[in-house]
Amino acid sequence: MPSGFEGLFPGGTDVESWCDRAAAELFVPARELEARWPEVRRAQSPLDLLARAFKVSPVVAARRALDLKLVDRATRFDFYNDQVRRERKTVATSSGGDFYNNQNTRLGELFTTHVLAAAMEGRIGFKEAYDLTGLRGGAFQEYARRLGVDLP
């Protein structure tokens, strides 16, 4: 199906088009979407419901509904523009992540506590502990404190 951006972007190859159709069918099978559509079409946010049901983004659900002619172009683009506005609002009001919480994912609490113990016992120097964790000075000390380790 055409994206509506043919004038802005050059067309893809036949292989790319085939891959797009295969991915769409894999993630949002036409038969299943068409079977669910009568249940959700009159809901306040049918495309959001479909997105949750198929575990895809609302924009993907909207595109698939357009491809299957369940919604018209105007509905799909109005929905898309609304999604963009919501996303911009979310980004503008977000305070961002927490640096120290992210270190738990990046380094792992177990690894870091072992590095901290080795540094405190003198088995490695603090410079090596800094190098192993990628943290320096105050950030290293604050992360250790948040893990419940008091550094000298």
Q: What is the pLDDT of residues 49-59, one digit of tens each?
A: 999 999 999 98
Q: How far apart are CA 58 and CA 60, in angstroms?
A: 5
Domain layout of the chain by residue ranges: 14-93, 99-146
Record the pTM.
0.52
Q: What is the DSSP letter of 120?
A: H
3-state helix, strand, coil in the chain (%, to 5): 70, 0, 30
Q: Residues 103-119: pLDDT tens digits?
A: 888 888 889 889 988 98
Residue 43 DSSP one-character state: S
